[in-house]
Amino acid sequence: MSRVWSEEAKLERWLAVELAVLDAWAHVGVVSPASAAAVRAEADVPTPAAVAERERITNHDVAAFVDAVAAGLGSDGRWFHYGLTSSDVLDTALSLTLQEAGGLVHAGIERALRAVLRRADEHRDTLVIGRTHGVHAEPTTFGLKLVGWAFQLVRDRERLERALAGTRVGKLSGAVGTYATTTPEVERLACEALGLEPAPSSTQILQRDRHAELLSTLALVASSLDRFALEIRHLARTEVREVEEPFASGQKGSSAMPHKRNPIVAERICGLARLVRGYAGVGLENVALWHERDISHSSAERIVFPDAFLAVDYMLDRFAWLVDGLVVRPERMRANLEATGGLFFSQRLLLALVGSGLERDEAYRMVQRHAMQAWDEGLDFRSLCRSDEQIATRVVLDDVFDVHAYTRHVETVFTRAASLREPDRVGA
């Protein structure tokens, strides 16, 4: 990803755009095939240092680039950058960059998805207490939790594919998009050679709603990873200790406290997500520009695009590593499940009493009375209910207090997830 956003790669793409346009001019008969061939043979990608040296004079990056390349082209160099404005080169090359960078993010999502699905299969029947408001609710399985992450990653992948399609366009329509100094045919031929579609309409630039959508998609990917990492952090708390990050031999969790094993990678992911969401806001601000264009978006994009892609690429890599090596403690999950003395059975008992003929409110208050006593006094909810003849004579409590009843439909969700494991979708 660093290479994709390097100065060297940027200049390579600028040259690729220029040469594609030159070949298009030759195809339509404006430039002789011999001149086009001569330029293509002699044109070299200038070094960033050479362009920077020239830019100190021109105070214009594309002009400095054109001068640096044309200097070695002789008389045929007059056709280099012919009919183009700077934004033709900048925006079309940016589209190429976004496609390559987006491909790396796409591959990162695939790796993360494979890791999540593997661990989900491993723990599809591992019981864990589900929590709402941070408070014990009802049992679920750790695998089911992870399958939910997998479906979210698939949605992220689909959003990324749509956003990348929206930026798979080039713009070679001249100063204000009228083709006054170029032609639609030149644009079509050059874009086709570059693997892009001509934008159906442009001003001096490609409109930035396309780019805002992509940055917003990256923010959603980051927010998904934030959600997953935050869950890992909660489950890694000492009081919970249901999972732990991998901890290497010789690693130190704290400079002061030798016992510490902190969820530092998950915390890093959460922190970077805040940054990427901020970049999405910059993308939205860049949509509204003056008239056919200004360059208020340009300075911001030089920061937000490389940083957002680098951050998300890194986050995906670390998340896949984290899931692959995550230490899962089923015994702690079961201990936490039992920590409230079976209070999580309250809804099953409520429904059983309603099914026996009691009014819902009466049944609710009957169950709640025992639940609150169990909560306040640390008693076993099941024992309290078994000692209550009004309850014990109405329902079969052994059936009510069957923990496996909560997971009898888990396989349905895993069956739905089967398509996520297709080789052409996750590279398995």
How far, in Å, CA of 148 to CA of 159, rounded?
A: 17
How far, in Å, CA of 114 to CA of 228, rounded?
A: 15
Q: Which residues of 17-132 form beta strands (DSSP E)?
A: 127-132
| Residue 250, CB-side half-sphere exposure with 13 Å CA sphere | 0
Give me the amino acid identity at 297.
H
Instruction: Tell the residue number behind the tokens 């990256």, with chain if given.
Output: 218
CA distances from 230 to 18, 93, 224, 272, 310 (A): 46, 37, 10, 12, 21
123 catalytic? Reply is no
How far, in Å, CA of 270 to CA of 60, rounded?
A: 38
Q: Are 318 and 268 in contact (CB under 8 A)?
A: yes
Q: Is 136 helix (H, G, I), strand (E, B) or coil?
A: strand
Name every residue whose Cβ is closer than 8 Å to that of residue 58 and which is 6 or more positions away in sequence: 64, 67
Choose, from 133, 291, 404, 409, the residue flagged as catalytic: 133
Q: What is the DSSP string of 316-367?
A: HHHHHHHHHH-EE-HHHHHHHHTTTTTGGGHHHHHHHHHHTT--HHHHHHHH
Q: Return the structure tokens found at 57.
A: 């004079």
Q: Are 254 and 262 in contact (CB under 8 A)?
A: yes
Other CB atoms closer than 10 Å to residue 401's CB: what's the count? 16
How far, in Å, CA of 398 to CA of 409, rounded?
A: 20
6 catalytic? Reply is no
Give first-to-last CA distance, the chain, whole Å. Answer: 23
Q: What is the CA radius of gyration of the chain?
A: 30
Choose, from 2, 32, 201, 254, the residue flagged as catalytic: 254
Q: Cite the active site residues.
A: 133, 254
